[in-house]
Structure 1
Amino acid sequence: MMIDQDRTSTTDVAAPLSPDMLRRMDGYWRAANYLSVGQIYLRDNAMLDRPLTVADVKPRLLGHWGTTPGLNFLYVHLNRLIVEHDLDMINIIGPGHGGPGLVAHTYLEGSYTERYPAIERSRSGMHRLFRQFSWPGGIPSHVAPETPGSIHEGGELGYSLAHAYGAAFDNPDLLVACIVGDGEAETGALAASWHSNKFLNPARDGAVLPILHLNGYKIANPTILARIDRGELDALLRGYGHEPLYVEGSDPAVVHQQLASALDAALARIKAIQATARADGAIVERPRWPMIVFRTPKGWTGPKAVDGKPVEGTWRSHQVPIADFKNPEHIRQLDAWMRSYRPEELFDADGKFLDDYASLAPTGHRRMGSNPHANGGELLQPLSLPDFHAYAVPVPVAGQVKAEATRVLGRYLRDVMKFSMDAKNFRLFGPDETASNRLADVYDVAGKVWMAEIDAVDEDLSTDGRVMEVLSEHLCQGWLEGYLLTGRHGLFSCYEAFVHIVDSMVNQHAKWLKVTKSIPWRRPIASLNYLLTSHVWRQDHNGLSHQDPGFIDHITNETADVARIYLPPDANCLLSVADHALRSRGYVNVIVAGKQPDWQWLGMDAAVRHCTVGAGIWDWAGDDADPDVVMACAGDVPTLETLAAVTMLRAYVPDIRIRVVNVVDLMVLQPQSEHPHGLDDRAFEALFTADKPVIFAFHGYPALIHKLTYARANHRNIHVRGYKERGTTTTPFDMVVLNDLDRYRLALDAIERIPRLADRVPAETARYWTTLERHKLYIAEQGDDMPEVRDWQWPT
C-alpha cells in the first residue's frame, strides 16, 4: 500500500504489514471482537467450553455492537503506531457506545486488570469481565469513567473533537487520536469542532489525529457524511483545513494494509509539521493537518442476517443484533458468531491471551489504557497563584467606593497567567468576550491564540497566546474540559444568558466528576470554573434575549458533592471566591459577578471572612437583635437594591428594626443533609430567625430560593423577589422594576409583612405606585434613571 498524494487516497501498491504482522494484528482484532460480543451477551460459558444455551445468555441485553468492531480495528492499529514510534498517545472515542471494545482492549493490554485486580487475565477473569458488563453493580455499557484510558463519556455526543484539542494544548509530545462517529458528526458541537485545528500551535502544542469513522448508520437512519459522495465529503474536510486520507472496505486483510499505510503517512505528516514549526527561528504558520476517513460496515464481522433481514452493514446492527433467544436458531447463531473469531487460537486453556498476539501491545504508560494523560489528576500540579489580597479594592467605609468587579479580577487573572507561563498549565476560555467582560488585562501577559492571518488592525492576537476565544460556547467548554481532564487548570468566562448553550456538556462533566469520586484510581482534577458576567440585571441595553439567570438553576440540580454557586456582592468578595475556585479540585464552580461600576461593601479581610462562611449578617447595615424583618440578598444588584430599601425603610419608619443578611455561597441555604456547605438549622435560624418575615432579593428565579429552603422551619415566612422573565431594552433600574426587585417594592414588601405596621400599608402602597409612575414618566422622557436612583449612595 501507499498513499496517492494527489488524491490523498489509498492505492494497492505496497503492503506495509508483513504477512506475520498482518496475521498477528488480525488475531488481536478477533480477540477484541470476541471479548466485545461476550460482554454484551454472556453471563456464563465465557470460553465456549460447550455449546451455548439460553442459560448462558444475560436476561437483559444492553450493549452496542455496531460501532465496536471498527473501534477495535483502529485500536489495534494505533497500538502498532505507538510501539513502532514510541508515541505518547491517548485515544478519545466519540462513538461512546463502543464501550465493550474499549474495555476489551484495556483488558487485553493488561491495564484493566491493573485497575481492577479481580478481573484477572484468566478463565475466571474473563467470566467476570463478561458478567459485569451492563449488569447491576457492574459497569456501564458505554465508554465511562470506569474505563481505563478514557476522558470522554459515552453520553457526550458531539464533544470528542473539542476534548481532543483541549487535551493537546500545551502537551507538545502528546498525540491524541480522536475517533469521530458519523452520527455525532451531525451535531452542532462537532461541526464547530473541526475549526479547532486553527488554534493548535505545532511549535508548542501536541497534535490531534481525527479519524472520521463512517459506518453509515445511526440508531435507525443513515448518516449524512456517509451518504454524500466522495468529492463533496473531500471538499468539506479540506474546507475545514484537513488533508484527508481515505481507508475503506470490508475485507479485513485489505483494510489492515490500507489503514497501516494511512496511519504511517499521517504520522509522518504530523512529525514534519512539528519539526518545521519547532526549528530555531521558524515562523509558525497554520498547517493543514492530516486526518483519516475510515469507512467500514456497521456491525462488521457480526451476523450477516437475522430472521431473513440484513444486519451487518445496516442500522439493525447498532445495538444487539440477535435479541430474541426464545428462538433456538438465535442461540445457535450467537454460538456460531462467537466461534467465528476462533478463540481457541487466541487464548490458552486457562483463558490467557497468547503472547504471540499480546506482545503487539505497548507496555507501561505507553498503553492507552494506562497513559497518565487520560487520568489527568496524576499529572496535576497546583497553580502558582498570586496573593489575591494584593488586588483588593480599599473600602474604608461601606458604599463609598465604586469599582468594576470583573476588571479587578482581570488584574488578578493577569498574574495567574503570568505565574503559570513556565508551567504552561493555565488558560482562559471565552466566546469573544474577554475584553467585554473587563478581563483584558490578561492580554498584557498572553494574547489570544490565533494561527490564521493577522491584519494590521487586529489587536492582541498571537500564535503564542494563551487566551482561547472563539464564538462557540461548545468549543470553549469542550476545550476546557479536555484541558482539565489531562491535568491542567482553566476558567471559562461567558455572558450569563448564553452559557446555557453548554447545559448538556456541563451536565455530563458533572456526572463524570461524581462517578470518579468513587473510583480510587481516578485522581482528582482541577475544578471546572465559570465566571458568568454581563448578567441579567445589566443587560438592559441588549434586551430580553440577553436576560437569563437560569444556569444557576441548572447547576443546583447537579449532585451536591460537585456543584458550587457563588454570588459575590462586590470586587473583594469576587477575588476571594475566584482564588478559592482556582485552588479547588473536582467541583463545578459557578461565579456570577457584574462588570459595571458599582458600590463596594466589604474590605478584603471582611470579604474573606464573609466568603469563608458563605453567608452573614451585615451588622453595619442593620440591627442584629430581635429584628422586625430580615432583608436578605444574594447577588450584586439585589444587594444594592436591598441596601437602598433599608435606607428608605428607616426614613419611612424610624423605629424599624432591620437585619441585613447577605448570601454569597448559595448552597449554604440547603440543609447539611443535602449539601456539604449547607448550614445546620441552628446556624440558619441565627441568620434568618425562626419566625420573622424574610424579604429575599435574589439574582435568579425566585423559585430556586424556595427549593433550597423548603425544609427550613421559617420557610413559610420567606418571601422571594427575583427575575420573572420581564425584560426588554430599557434602563438598568427599570429592569429591576419590571421584575419587582426594586428598592421601592422591597420596602413595601417589608412593611406589608411586619404585623405592627399593618395600618401603614395603604399609605405606603399609594406611595409605591406614585413613585413607580414618576419613574416610568422620567425614563420615557429622559432615557435614563431618576437621579435619586442613579446617584444613590449608602449614607455615611
Structure 2
Amino acid sequence: MRRALRDSGRGAAAPRAGGTERPAATDRLGAAEAAAIDAWWRAANYLSVGQIYLLDNPLLREELRPGHIKPRLLGHWGTSPGLNFCYAHLNRVIRARDLDMIYIMGPGHGGPAAVANAWLEGTYSEVYPDVSRDAAGMARLFRQFSFPGGVPSHVAPETPGSIHEGGELGYSLAHAYGAAFDNPDLVVACIVGDGEAETGPLAASWHSGTWLDPVRDGAVLPILHLNGYKIANPAVLARIPEEELTLLLSGYGYRPILVSGDEPAAMHQKMAAALDQALDEIARIQEAARDARAEGPDGQANGRVRWPMIVLRTPKGWTGPKEVDGLPVEGTWRSHQVPLSRVRDDPEHLARLEDWLRSYRPDELFDADGRPVETLRELPPRGRRRMSANPHANGGELLRPLVLPDFRLYGVEVDGPGERTAEPTRVLGAWLRDVLAANRGRFRLMGPDETASNRLDAVFEVTDRVFRAERYPTDEHQGPHGQVMEVLSEHLCQGWLEGYLLTGRHGLFNSYEAFVHIVDAMFNQHAKWLEVTRRLAWRRPIASLNYLLSSHVWRQDHNGFTHQDPGFLDVVMNKKPEIVRVYLPPDANTLLSVTDHCLRSRDYVNVVVAGKQPSPNWLPMDQAIAHCTRGLGIWEWASTGGGGDPDVVMACAGDVPTLETLAAVDLLRQYFPELRVRVVNVVDLMRLQPDTEHPHGLSDRDFDMIFTADRPVIFAFHGYPYLIHRLAYRRAGHPNLHVRGYKEEGTTTTPFDMVMMNDLDRYHLVMDVIDRVPSLGGRVAHIRQRMADKRLAMRVHTREHGEDAPEVRDWVWPYGGAS
C-alpha cells in the first residue's frame, strides 16, 4: 500500500510543517477524466433527487406528472451533493493508487447519496438483485426510499458499504479510527458534517489521531464538509474565521488542506489536488514510521504525527434550486430536506422539479435501457475495491475466531463456599492478559482511564496503553504500539470499539458502572444496527459488543452518590431480546466462564457486571461452569429442607446481593431451623423471562419448578427492583415476588451501610421473610424487632468508627457445602 498510496503520477509538494494548504488546482485532471468524474457526480445527484421525489417515470422519458411523485416527500437533499462529490473523487484515487478504502458518511441524512453510489457501482444490484442496474431497477430504487416497506432515509445497515448507523450524529470519526486500528493497509475516508461537528462525541473524536499508530494501523482521512447550515441554523465551524478554524484543527494535530468554491469545473480540479496531496502525505508518514520501526524501537515510529485532513466548503444543496417561491434555497438552510415541498399540488413546483432533474442531463448518463453509460461503468474501482463492496464494511467476512486460553486454568480454588475471597476482575485480568497476547492485531481492550482501577492491570504485563503524545519518565505502561486504549471519554471508547468490531475484530469495553450511561444512545444505535443486520443475509455476523461493568453501585462507597447507578441494565433490557444479554456472575470463577462465553459470541451486546473488591468464592470451577450454562439454579448447599417444597425462596442476582442473601439465610437457619429455605442464584438475567419472550427464557413450568407458583420469593437484585418485576410479571407466582435492590439511596459511606440504605441488607431480608411467610405467625415479632435493632446498631457503629462492624465485615458462610 505504501507504493500505491503515493503512486499517483502527480506528486504534490510537501506541505509546510504545521501549516495550512490550498492545493494548486491547475491541470490536476485531464479533460476526459474531469468530464467522467463530473458525469458520475451528476448521475449520483440525479439518483439522490429521484429517491426523494419520484414514484415512477425514473428517467423522465415522459413529461413529469403529479402521479409520478411520492405522496409523502421524505429525505434530505442538502448534504447529498457534497457527499456525491467526495465519493466521485475518492473513486478516482482508489483506482489510481489501488487503495483499500472505505467511506464513512457522518451526515446521517446523506442516505440518498450512499444508496445512489452503491447502485452506480453495481454493488446494490448484486446485493438486491430485484433493484437491477437498469430502468426497472432504478424505479424500484426510487420507490423504496423512505417508503413503507422500503429503506430508511439515512445511512443504514441496508446500504452496502456502510458501517455507520446514521440515525444519530456524532460517531463517524470515532468509528473511522476504530476501523483503522490494526488495519495497516486500510484508508478510511470520513466525511464529517458541520452540524455533526458540533456534537460532544465528534468534538472529542478529533483527538483520536493521538492513538493512531502509523506503523501497524491504517490511516483516517477526515473531510470536514462545511456547507454552512444544520437543519435551521448556521453551523459554528462554518461561521468562525478561517484562521481560527485552521488553528483549531491544527491544535488537534491535523494539517488542514482547504478546498472551497461552487463552480464545478474548478472544484473538481481543487478536490483532485487536495486528495493527491493528502494521500501523498499519508504515504510519507507511514513510510517514515515503518522504516524507523524496522531499524529499531526509537525514531519517528514513536513520535507524534500531524495527519492531513481536508476542509471542503460547498453550498448546502449545491446544484439544486437556487430559489423557491421567491426565497433563496441553495446555500441556505432551506435546502436541508425537501426544497420543493408542494410538487404534487403546485404546477410551478412540479415544473421546477423537472427542470432540476433534467439539469443533470440524464440522457447523457443512462442508456436506452436505463443502465449507466459505459463511461460511468468504467469509472469506479473493480470488485472488492469498490467502497460499497469493500469487505471491511461487512466485517464478518474478515472475522477470525479468537485464540482463547482455557479459562479453567485461571480459576480460584474453592475448598468450601465462601471460605476464601478473591478480587473477581483481578482474576479475570490474568486471563485477559493472555487473551491479548494470543490475539495481537485483532483484540483490544477499551476503557476510560479505568483498566487498572478495575483491577485488570495484569494486561500491562504483555502490552502498553497506546499513547503517541509526549511521554515522561514517570509514565507507566504508555507506548505507541499497545493493545489497551484508554481515553477519558466513554464516547470514544464506544465509538472506537464499534468501528473495530464492525470491520471484523474483537474487543472488550470496561467501565465504571455508573458512567457507562454516557454511551446509552451509542449502545442504542449499535443494538439497532445488529437487529437490522440479522435480517440481511449478506451481512455476515460480527463479534459481539462486550461490556464489563465494574466499580459498581454497591462498592462505590468511597466515591459516593454520583458513582452509584446500576440503571444501564434497564436501558439494555429495552432492546430486542435477540440482541442483548445481561450477566451477573456472583464470584471469580463464574466471571471467567461468562466472559469466555461472551468473547466467543456473535451479533450480541453482552453486559457483564462484576465486582473488583475482595468477595467470597462460592463455586469451584466445575460447578461454576454448570451454573453459568444453566443461567440460574438452586444452590442446594445453601438451601434447607432436603429438596422438598420450600416455605420461602431466597433469590439473588449480583455479587453483593448474593452475599447478603446467604448471610440472611444463615440468620434464618439460626432463628428458624424448621423453616424450609430454597436459595436460587441468577447469573443470566434473561432466564427470568418466558421462553416466548427471549431465547434464554425459562418455560412457565421450569420457572415454577424453581421459584414455585405459590410461595413467597424474596429477590435481592443488583439493580433497580422494578426490572425484575418487568421480567417476571407474567409468571404465575409474580404476586408473591418481593424484590429488594437499589432505590436511589447513596452517599459516601461503608459497604454495609450502603446496602442498609437501600434495604438490601441481610437483616432487612430476614424481616421480609418474617413479613411474608404466614407459617411463622406472630411468634416471631421479637426476632423481627431484633433485626431492626441490628440495623440500628450497625448504623451507629459506622458513624462512630468509620467502618463496618466485624460481625458483618468478617462474616463467612459457616455451613460448608452440605445442604
Q: Which of the five TM-score ranges fits, normalised by the shorter chain?
A: over 0.9
SS in 1 for 2:295: coil
Aligned partner of 1:400 in structure 2 is: 419
Deviation of the 1:5 alpha carbon? 3.7
Matched, 1:117 2:129: yes
- The answer to which of 772-781 and 32-41 deviates more is 772-781
How far, CA to CA, are the matches of 1:11 and 1:662 in structure 2?
66
How far, CA to CA, are the matches of 1:170 and 1:356 in structure 2?
36
**Relative to 1, partners in 2 of residues 1:397 and 1:4: Cα closer, same or farther, differing over 3 Å?**
closer
Deviation of the 1:396 alpha carbon? 2.0
Aligned partner of 2:432 in structure 1 is: 413
SS in 1 for 2:22: strand
Query: For residues 100-115 of structure 1, what are the structure 2 equivalents within 5 Å?
Result: 100-115=112-127
Query: For residues 298-337 of structure 1, what are the structure 2 equivalents within 5 Å?
Result: 298-325=316-343, 326-337=345-356
Matched, 1:683 2:702: yes
Aligned partner of 1:155 in structure 2 is: 167
1:499-541 deviations in Å (ceiling 9; x for gaps): 0000000000000000000000000000000000000000011
- The answer to which of 466-475 and 750-759 deviates more is 750-759
Deviation of the 1:686 alpha carbon? 1.1
How far, CA to CA, are the matches of 1:509 and 1:760 in structure 2?
55
- The answer to which of 556-565 and 768-777 deviates more is 768-777
- The answer to which of 168-177 and 319-328 deviates more is 319-328
How far, CA to CA, are the matches of 2:277 and 2:719 in structure 1?
54
Q: Among the aligned pairs, what percent are the same residue? A: 65
CA contact (8 A) 2:192 2:225 kept: yes
Matched, 1:584 2:598: no
Aligned partner of 1:197 in structure 2 is: 209
Matched, 1:728 2:747: yes
CA contact (8 A) 1:752 1:761 kept: no
Counterpart selection for 1:538 from 550, 555, 571 = 555
- Residue type at the aligned position of 2:334: R
Deviation of the 1:358 alpha carbon? 2.2
How far, CA to CA, are the matches of 1:65 and 1:293 in structure 2?
20
Matched, 1:130 2:142: yes
Matched, 1:495 2:507: no
Counterpart selection for 1:661 from 675, 680, 685 = 680
CA contact (8 A) 1:15 1:261 kept: no
How far, CA to CA, are the matches of 2:471 and 2:159 in structure 1?
43
- Residue type at the aligned position of 2:773: I
How far, CA to CA, are the matches of 1:123 and 1:161 in structure 2?
36
1:665-704 deviations in Å (ceiling 9; x for gaps): 0000011111100000111011100100000000000000
Using the size of structure 2 for normalisation, the TM-score is 0.96
How far, CA to CA, are the matches of 1:464 and 1:319 in structure 2?
44
Aligned partner of 1:265 in structure 2 is: 277
Deviation of the 1:4 alpha carbon? 9.2
1:532-555 deviations in Å (ceiling 9; x for gaps): 000000001100000000000000
Deviation of the 1:764 alpha carbon? 2.8
Query: For residues 354-365 of structure 1, what are the structure 2 equivalents within 5 Å?
Result: 354-365=373-384
Deviation of the 1:3 alpha carbon? 7.1
1:233-253 deviations in Å (ceiling 9; x for gaps): 011000000000000001011
Query: For residues 77-476 of structure 1, what are the structure 2 equivalents within 5 Å?
Result: 77-279=89-291, 280-281=294-295, 283=299, 284=301, 285-325=303-343, 326-421=345-440, 424-476=441-493
Deviation of the 1:10 alpha carbon? 2.2
CA contact (8 A) 1:3 1:11 kept: no
How far, CA to CA, are the matches of 1:52 and 1:332 in structure 2?
8
How far, CA to CA, are the matches of 1:155 and 1:291 in structure 2?
25
- The answer to which of 694-703 and 2-11 deviates more is 2-11
- The answer to which of 448-457 and 190-199 deviates more is 448-457
Deviation of the 1:793 alpha carbon? 0.3
SS in 1 for 2:704: helix
CA contact (8 A) 1:751 1:760 kept: no
Counterpart selection for 2:587 from 561, 570, 574 = 570
How far, CA to CA, are the matches of 1:444 and 1:15 in structure 2?
55
How far, CA to CA, are the matches of 1:625 and 1:313 in structure 2?
77
- The answer to which of 1-10 and 486-495 deviates more is 1-10
How far, CA to CA, are the matches of 2:14 and 2:248 in structure 1?
19
Deviation of the 1:14 alpha carbon? 2.3
Aligned partner of 2:541 in structure 1 is: 524
How far, CA to CA, are the matches of 1:625 and 1:666 in structure 2?
25
Deviation of the 1:762 alpha carbon? 2.8
Aligned partner of 2:496 in structure 1 is: 479
- Residue type at the aligned position of 1:582: L
Matched, 1:612 2:629: yes
How far, CA to CA, are the matches of 1:524 and 1:776 in structure 2?
52
SS in 2 for 1:321: coil
Deviation of the 1:13 alpha carbon? 5.8
Using the size of structure 1 for normalisation, the TM-score is 0.99
Query: For residues 684-703 of structure 1, what are the structure 2 equivalents within 5 Å?
Result: 684-703=703-722
| CA RMSD across the alignment | 1.1
Aligned partner of 1:745 in structure 2 is: 764
- Residue type at the aligned position of 1:718: L
Aligned partner of 1:673 in structure 2 is: 692
Aligned partner of 2:6 in structure 1 is: none
- The answer to which of 460-469 and 10-19 deviates more is 10-19
- The answer to which of 357-366 and 30-39 deviates more is 357-366
SS in 2 for 1:10: coil
- Residue type at the aligned position of 1:573: T
SS in 2 for 1:90: strand
SS in 1 for 2:540: coil
- Residue type at the aligned position of 1:287: V
Residue-pair matches, total: 794
Aligned partner of 2:34 in structure 1 is: 22
**Relative to 1, partners in 2 of residues 1:303 and 1:382: Cα closer, same or farther, differing over 3 Å?**
same
1:49-86 deviations in Å (ceiling 9; x for gaps): 11111100000111110000000000000000100000
Aligned partner of 1:58 in structure 2 is: 70
- The answer to which of 20-29 and 764-773 deviates more is 764-773
SS in 2 for 1:9: coil
CA contact (8 A) 1:9 1:247 kept: no
How far, CA to CA, are the matches of 1:748 and 1:8 in structure 2?
71
CA contact (8 A) 1:170 1:425 kept: yes
**Relative to 1, partners in 2 of residues 1:766 and 1:13: Cα closer, same or farther, differing over 3 Å?**
closer
SS in 1 for 2:342: coil
Matched, 1:547 2:559: no
SS in 2 for 1:501: helix
Instruction: Flag structure 1 segments of 5+ consecutive residues without an equivalent.
Output: none
CA contact (8 A) 1:562 1:586 kept: yes
- Residue type at the aligned position of 1:464: H
